[in-house]
Amino acid sequence: MLAATPNAAPRAWASAPAPIRVLIADDSAVVRGLVARWITEAGFTVVGTAANGRIAIEMMARHDPDVVLLDIDMPELDGTEALPRMLAASPSLQVVMMSTLTTRNADISLKCLALGAVDYLAKPESNRGVTTSDAFRTELVERVRLFGAARARRRGPAAAPAVPGPVPPAQGPAPVPVRAPTSFSLRPKARAATAPRVLLVGASTGGPKAVGEMLEKIGAAALRRVPVLIVQHMPPIFTAVFAEHLATRTGLPAAEGKADERLEPGRIYVAPGGRHMGLSGGQGRDPVIRLDDGAPVNFCRPAVDVLFKDAAALFGAATVSVVLTGMGSDGTHGARALVEAGGAMLAQDEATSTVWGMPGSVAKAGLAHGVLPLSEIGPALRSLITGQVA
C-alpha cells in the first residue's frame, strides 16, 4: 500500500458541488453593482452584468448561468422581450423578474410568470431604497439560492482544480446526486357527509401560475357552487392584479377581499397583499371577510394559517382545501385544524411544485388526503365540490 502524500489533492474534489452562476440584467449601474456584491458575498458566482436584454442574451451564450435576475424596464431590449429568447436558448434557465411596485409592472410580472419566469421580485422605487432595504436583499439572495441549487445540481460536480503533485487515479464518472424519496402517509379518503360550502387555496412561490391552471381545470360550473378564498403570498398591488388575471382566466368575478364582505358562491376572493384575510361570523351571522394588520404569521402577511383556522371554526367539515407550491410551512397548522374538523385537504406533489415547502410540510405532517400532480388537483377538487367521481 502506498503511503499517503501530504500534498496530495483531497478526494473530496471529485464531488464538490458546482457553484450557482448568476447573470444580472438591470439598466441601473447602482443596482447591478449592489446586487453583484450581495450575490458574491452570499457565496455565489456572478458570471456577468448587463445594462439591457440584448447584452444579457449575448452573455448567456458565453457563460451559461443558472439564474438570471431580469429587470423589466431596460433600453434596446427590455425584460419582457428578452425572457422568451432566453428560455428558447436554455429551457431550464431560472429567470427571476425584477420590477418596481407599480400596477403596470405587476401585470407584466404576472404575464412573465405565464411565459416561464420562475418568480418575481418587487424592487424598491429608488436606488437609495435598494441600498437600504435589507428585506429586498434577503429575498433576492434566498431566491438565487433556491432556484440556482436545483439547476446547479443538474450540472454535476464542479471541475477539479489544478493541483500540483501526482495525478489522482482515474475514477469513472462522478455519481449524479439522487434526491432520496420523501415518505409521507395519506389520511384515509372519506367523502364528507356535509356538502362543501367553501374552497380554500394557499400558495406562495410558483403559485400565481399554479393557481390559475388549477382553477381552469376545476371549471367554472363547479366553481360557481362555492366561494373561493385564496391566500397567495404577494406584495400589495400584485394581489389586485393577480385577481384580475384570475377573473380573465376563469370567467368568474375575482377581486381582493374586503372587510365585512359576505361570501357568495362563484366569486373568487384574494387576500390583499400586506394584510391577513380571515373570516368571522357565527351566532346566526353569515360568514364575512375579516381583514387585519396583525403581526406576520410564519413570517407571512397574508398568511394561509389565518384563513384556514378561521374557516375550520366556521365551516368545519364543509371545507375543501388545497396547499400549492411555496416556500416555508405556512398552512400546516391551519391544515391540521381543517382536517380535524372533518374537511378535505389536498397538497401539490414535489415533482410539479416550484418549491415543495408548504405542500411538503402538509404532506409530511400526514394532513393530506391526497398529494397530487398539479394537473390532477383541479379534477380532484371538482369531484369533491360536486360529489361526482372524476
pLDDT, tens digit (0-9, with 9 covering 90-100), for 30-69: 999 999 999 999 999 999 999 999 999 999 999 999 999 9
Determine what percent of the chain is predicted with pLDDT higher than 90.
76
State the pLDDT confidence band at 389, using cuts at 50, 70 and 90.
low
Is 361 tagged catalytic?
A: no
pLDDT, tens digit (0-9, with 9 covering 90-100), for 275-291: 999 999 866 688 999 99
Residue of 109, 233, 245, 333 marked active site: 233
CA pair distance 59, 19, nearest whole angstrom:
18
Whether the per-residue pLDDT at 176 is higher than 70: the answer is no
More confident residue, 175 or 200: 200
Residue for grid cell 414535489:
350
Domain 16-155 matches domain 198-386 at the CATH topology level:
yes
Whether the per-residue pLDDT at 110 is higher than 90: the answer is yes
Q: Count CB neighbours of 115 within 10 A.
A: 13
- Quick one: pLDDT at residue 156? 53
More confident residue, 218 or 388: 218
DSSP-assigned states of every residue in 63-77: H--SEEEEES--SSS
State the pLDDT confidence band at 253, using cuts at 50, 70 and 90.
very high
Q: What are phi and psi of 107, to 5 degrees?
A: -60, -45
- Quick one: pLDDT at residue 170? 37
Whether the per-residue pLDDT at 9 is higher than 60: the answer is no
State the pLDDT confidence band at 18, using cuts at 50, 70 and 90.
confident
Mean pLDDT along residues 323-334: 97
Cell readout for 154 is 443538474
Residue for grid cell 360550473:
221
Pick the CATH number of 16-155 from 3.30.1360.120, 1.10.3720.10, 3.30.930.10, 3.40.50.2300: 3.40.50.2300
- Quick one: pLDDT at residue 310? 98
Residue of 71, 78, 107, 204 marked active site: 204
Cell readout for 353 is 411544485
More confident residue, 188 or 162: 188
Residue of 71, 310, 330, 349 marked active site: 330
Domain boundaries along the sequence of the chain: 16-155, 198-386
- Quick one: pLDDT at residue 90? 94
State the pLDDT confidence band at 11, using cuts at 50, 70 and 90.
very low
- Quick one: pLDDT at residue 3? 41
Contact by Cβ (8 Å): 181, 344 = no
pLDDT, tens digit (0-9, with 9 covering 90-100), for 58-89: 999 999 999 999 999 999 999 999 999 999 99
Kindly report the average pLDDT of the chain as a whole number: 87
Longest CA–CA separation in the chain, Å: 85
State the pLDDT confidence band at 246, using cuts at 50, 70 and 90.
very high
Range of weakest confidence among 24-28, 222-226, 240-244, 279-283: 279-283
Is 245 tagged catalytic?
A: no
Q: Provide the Cα torsion 336, 337, 342, 346; round to 10°.
A: -40
Domain 198-386's class? alpha beta
Whether the per-residue pLDDT at 270 is higher than 80: the answer is yes
Do strands 285-292 and 276-282 pair parallel, antiparallel, or not at all (unpaired)? antiparallel
Cell readout for 176 is 449524479
Return the amino acid letter for 243. Answer: A
CA pair distance 241, 255, nearest whole angstrom:
9
